[in-house]
């Protein structure tokens, strides 16, 4: 929310959540505009306070864009979240500058007293650090209990433009984070807007991209949009067992690798046991044909 948008985004997302409550669980992050500190940040602080009063579930912000103090901005956003007894979901280090490392600041703050969930998205500059330093920061993030969200489409599009040679991918250090035990999810981020002209909002597309850009196996890549995504959100991981949440996806493919490769449109989605998204094939009466696999 900024001086140009006011609270209109919050109003729109609240309306969208109400209209789709039977289809999907929506968490609303009040993304505070920048700057957040000082006289110039007064309006943004006011908008954030109003958004929390309106019913936002999490506090968001972009501390790395704070011109005066990244650490102080992080501390302020965490304090607002603590005051409302909610977690944070911060755009973190969306920059290739290895000298900007808000992720380490966030880990330190969370480890020393923040008692609510914390998520860091992007975390691009981590990938520009020496390997030993990556491991060190990843271990700090794991110890603090922070979840990380990689955003491959937008980061590939935006990052590295100034690097004519040896262009960095601009994706966070997924291997180091996973090795340290950090839950690493993957998401769409921007969708057909000035920050990313492409995208379908499809988790299978994102998982397929994670295979290519983060060198994950198809199984591990799928976990970034399924099991690990649920862990980052603080939700129970789904398994095909009695008593597990019946949040399921069935796609027309012989294997998981084929599903990621083809991104088939024939899909069935269940939310808490209720079919919410019948596919074209299902409507034609052929959803139970051989090759339709169910996955949590």
Annotation says 115 is catalytic: no
SS3 content of the chain, % helix, strand, coil (to 5): 40, 15, 45
From 94, 131, 136, 228, the catalytic residue: 94
* Residue-range domains of the chain with CATH: 8-232 (3.20.20.140), 248-295 (no CATH)
Q: pLDDT confidence of 67, banded at 50, 70, 90?
A: confident
Average pLDDT score, the chain: 92
pLDDT in tens, 229-270: 999 999 999 998 999 999 999 999 999 999 999 999 889 999
In the sheet with 248-252, reading across from the earlier edge strand, the strands are 274-277, 267-271, 248-252, 292-295
3-state secondary structure of 100: coil
Q: Tell me if 29 sits within 8 A of 20, measured CB to CB.
A: no
Per-residue pLDDT, 281: 47
Q: Tell me if 28 sits within 8 A of 13, measured CB to CB.
A: yes
pLDDT in tens, 73-109: 999 999 999 999 999 999 999 999 999 999 999 999 9
Separation CA 31–CA 60 (nearest Å): 4
Confidence (pTM): 0.91
């Amino acid at each position: 929310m900024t001086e140009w948008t006011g609270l209109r985004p919050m109003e729109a997302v609240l309306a969208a959540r109400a209209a789709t409550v039977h289809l999907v669980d929506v968490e609303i992050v009040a993304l505070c505009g920048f700057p957040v500190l000082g006289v110039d940040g007064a309006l943004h602080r006011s908008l954030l306070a109003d958004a929390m009063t309106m019913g936002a579930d999490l506090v968001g912000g972009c501390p790395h864009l704070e011109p005066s103090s990244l650490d102080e901005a992080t501390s302020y956003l965490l304090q607002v979240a603590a005051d409302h007894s909610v977690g944070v979901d911060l755009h973190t280090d969306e920059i290739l500058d290895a000298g900007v490392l808000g992720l380490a600041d966030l880990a330190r703050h969370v480890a020393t007293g923040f008692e609510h969930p914390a998520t860091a998205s992007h975390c691009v500059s981590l990938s520009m650090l020496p390997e030993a330093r990556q491991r060190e920061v990843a271990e700090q993030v794991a110890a603090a209990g922070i979840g990380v969200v990689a955003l491959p489409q937008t980061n590939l599009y935006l990052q590295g433009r100034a690097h004519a040679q040896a262009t960095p991918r601009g994706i966070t250090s997924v291997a180091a984070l996973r090795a340290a035990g950090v839950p690493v999810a993957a998401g769409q981020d921007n969708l057909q807007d000035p920050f990313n002209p492409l995208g379908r909002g499809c988790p299978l597309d994102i998982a397929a991209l994670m295979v290519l850009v983060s060198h994950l196996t198809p199984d591990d890549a799928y976990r970034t949009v399924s099991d690990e995504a649920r862990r980052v959100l603080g939700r129970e991981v789904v398994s095909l067992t009695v008593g597990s949440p019946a949040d399921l996806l069935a796609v027309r493919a012989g294997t998981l690798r084929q599903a990621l490769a083809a991104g088939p449109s024939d899909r069935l989605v269940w939310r808490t046991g209720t079919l919410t998204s019948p596919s074209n094939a299902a409507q034609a009466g052929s959803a139970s044909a051989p090759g339709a696999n169910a996955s949590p």
